[in-house]
Structure 1
């Protein structure tokens, strides 16, 4: 993917690029959303000259493993910012679409909050959804400190279990969006839990003044901040081991209950 995007110039503002969704990131009913976000983040990083500052993805249909195409339209490429629209097409059907924003890299931050993080335990609690057999979890070292519950946030230490290139992750932004989607919603703490909580829309915002080591341990904080019988809103943040924010994400999910 990156080689094709690397040949693009500001004069060539549109391209259809072949990509592949790795079956090792399979989830419920298709590819794990974090991996879809990662492939789109890699495309966005490759197409624009600036650092990726924000990524928004809206799903139209589930994404399956195997080949797909990403249609990219760079609608603005300025000296300080850039904007692109994208569409993920698979089997001649639109599966996801969205927009990315980029900003000039290298400008130091004016301030940055530091969070006190809990120590990383040797063994964490199991995910609240109880779906330990999900294939994508084998790609992550996920040590859950506390599962999210109604009215109470949760957190986990997490890192890629394998080298990024070996699991179809090309950029640090791709690693961050993978991590942002790793914890299950708090609805799974209910006595009657959902059967599936597919993502409807997802937005991530990245720090642009640091280079992130995608293989390092990171802390993921997570909360379900609102829920109804049909949808919920999840918030997640990723921090480095020193307690410095790296990325923040918010997503709207559909909620499907047992019949």
Structure 2
């Protein structure tokens, strides 16, 4: 696992999900259908050592194929999940989750997330598109930003899985002191916008907390292409932990 993608307690969860998807595709080369959903359960923080995947042969129906997988480090399971593949087919079209109306990336100011909290963010350019900012103590638990990979990689399904988890937990928009909010489970649903190939350049990412209580939070996120096409929608179950120590919390964002 690439150490540059380190997050609060381990390797970035979205990056792990993308790696799982890539591994499943590599292991089951016969699955040529586009991916439709990817569910990843995080059993423990993923370190920077080798992450080895095992899984089942795809259970293939008339139109779909489902693969179950487990990721191991040092012989211990650290993630498990499933990927659903299915081809495009004719049917009605509907666009219910439209991109928010925000300024374009050229009109938004870049922001740097604290390296001690989100080392992985150095691999990205992040430009908040609204007044909601992490650790600004705002009124809403929502963040919207333009994001692109600094290495200009194509925005394929694995990259979209990363982007679905790339912004801080939406509760950060209401807080002023950081605390760990690791993802326990994430499901990403991909749209047909990727059927003809990957997107490129900027993506617009939105994350919001739909509910928090009892030490848990439910986050909803969406990823759109620069042209406003919905690429994926995701849901996460997250654990809300105690605030970090004052030494760690001393890191601030520089905009």
1:66 is paired with a residue of what secondary structure?
coil
Unpaired segments ≥5 residues, structure 1:
1-20
* Larger strand percent: 1
**For residue 151 of structure 2, what is the aligned residue in structure 1?**
162
**For residue 167 of structure 2, what is the aligned residue in structure 1?**
183
Work out the CA distance in 1 between the residues paired with 2:89 and 2:201.
21
Tell me whether 68-77 or 175-184 shows the greater mean CA deviation.
68-77
User: Cα deviation per residue 1:130-180 (whole Å; 9 max; x = unaligned)?
Assistant: 53553211111111123375545321111111043xxxx8x7111101111
Deviation at 1:219, TM superposition (A): 0.6
With structure 1 as the length reference, what TM-score do the two structures score?
A: 0.80
Match runs of 1:98-177 below 5 Å? 98-105=81-88, 107=90, 110-113=93-96, 114-115=98-99, 117-122=101-106, 123-124=108-109, 126=111, 131-133=114-116, 134-146=118-130, 147=132, 151-164=140-153, 172-177=156-161
Work out the CA distance in 2 between the residues paired with 1:136 and 1:215.
20
2:192 is paired with a residue of what secondary structure?
coil
Tell me whether 201-210 or 84-93 shows the greater mean CA deviation.
201-210
Tell me whether 56-65 or 222-231 shows the greater mean CA deviation.
222-231
Deviation at 1:184, TM superposition (A): 1.2
**Root-mean-square deviation over aligned CA pairs:** 2.4
With structure 2 as the length reference, what TM-score do the two structures score?
A: 0.81
Unpaired segments ≥5 residues, structure 2:
246-255
Work out the CA distance in 1 between the residues paired with 2:42 and 2:59.
23
Deviation at 1:208, TM superposition (A): 2.9
Deviation at 1:107, TM superposition (A): 4.9
